[in-house]
Amino acid sequence: MMLTQSAAFFDLDGTLIPGSANIPLAKAAFREGLVTPTELARDLRNGLSFLLQGASDERSAQVRDRILAAVAGHPAAKVEALGDHFMDELVASLQPALTEVLAEHRAAGRDCIVLSASPTEIVSRFARETGLDLGVGTTSERDDQGRYTGRLAGPFCYREGKVTVMKQLAATRGYDLAASYAYSDSASDLPMLTAVGHPVAVNPEPELRAIAEERGWPVVETAALPRVSLTSWRSLVRFGAAVRDRMSGSPSRALPA
């Protein structure tokens, strides 16, 4: 197939939105009796850990397995309806800086696609309601009666799994990945970022910020204060400077990449 266009791929949690979509999803699942109070508490702890430290392979796998176990045997329509409880709020949390980025890509004629480890039911609906061209997440298998089996139907949309989805889309939609863009806040998305010609870090966690600095990648700042590592002197100095600027009323500025 002849490559005809480029695309812009976006991570969801921490990139397009400031937190994790799995937090409101877990709360909605609890209200509908799909998870226990203990399981909800665990999910909320995982969500807090994500906000403070970013994604990790272990936590992401735990969330995946928790969701698969929780929905097994339930009608897919019931799970899809969970978005009714929080989708408006989730859409409203779209980062203003990313709204501008999305507008720029649309003006350039690029498709805007969100890729996330979160359930496809949530990711695809978020994409529709924010005007993105496509949303792909982790897809759970369904049986002939439309009930979840507790198994995956396709790749876990995390790390290399996102690249698998990107390559599939490139083959079917004619995207030139070398001319495409990718945006993420997490080093766990390095496979996605390095699969395109134009990687961009968004409010990056410390590990990704260091990589972006080393490789000269652009950085989009979405928060007044940077995410820092408490064990890195350079990171603490950066954080202190940002706090000083904010307290002194200095104009907000993008921190150097």
Integer CA distances (angstroms), 199 to 9, 19, 146, 211, in order: 10, 21, 38, 11
Q: How far apart are CA 128 and CA 99, in angstroms?
A: 14
Which string of DSSP letters, residue by residue, matches 9-56? EEETBTTTBSS-THHHHHHHHHHTTSS-HHHHHHHHHHHHHHHHH---
Q: What is the pTM of this model?
A: 0.78
| Residue 81: DSSP 8-state | G
Q: Of 13, 43, 111, 189, which is the active-site residue? A: 13
Within a 10 A sphere around the Cβ of 188, how many other Cβ atoms? Answer: 22
> pLDDT 10s digit of each residue in the chain, 257 long?
444 589 999 999 999 999 888 788 878 777 877 766 676 556 656 655 545 555 555 655 666 666 766 677 778 888 889 889 999 999 999 999 999 999 999 999 999 999 998 889 999 999 999 999 999 999 889 999 988 888 888 888 999 999 999 999 999 999 999 999 999 999 999 999 999 999 999 999 999 999 999 999 999 999 866 555 544 445 444 444 443 444 444 443 333 33
Q: Can 11 be counted among the known catalytic residues? A: yes
Tell me yes or no: is domain 7-202+211-220 CATH 3.40.50.1000: yes
Task: Sketch the domain layout of the chain as residue ranges.
Answer: 7-202+211-220, 224-257
Provide the pLDDT for residue 256: 34
Q: Of 11, 43, 185, 189, which is the active-site residue? A: 11
Provide the pLDDT for residue 3: 47
Provide the pLDDT for residue 80: 86
* Three-state secondary-structure class, residue 154: coil
Provide the pLDDT for residue 75: 85
Q: How far apart are CA 133 and CA 120, in angstroms?
A: 14
Provide the pLDDT for residue 250: 45
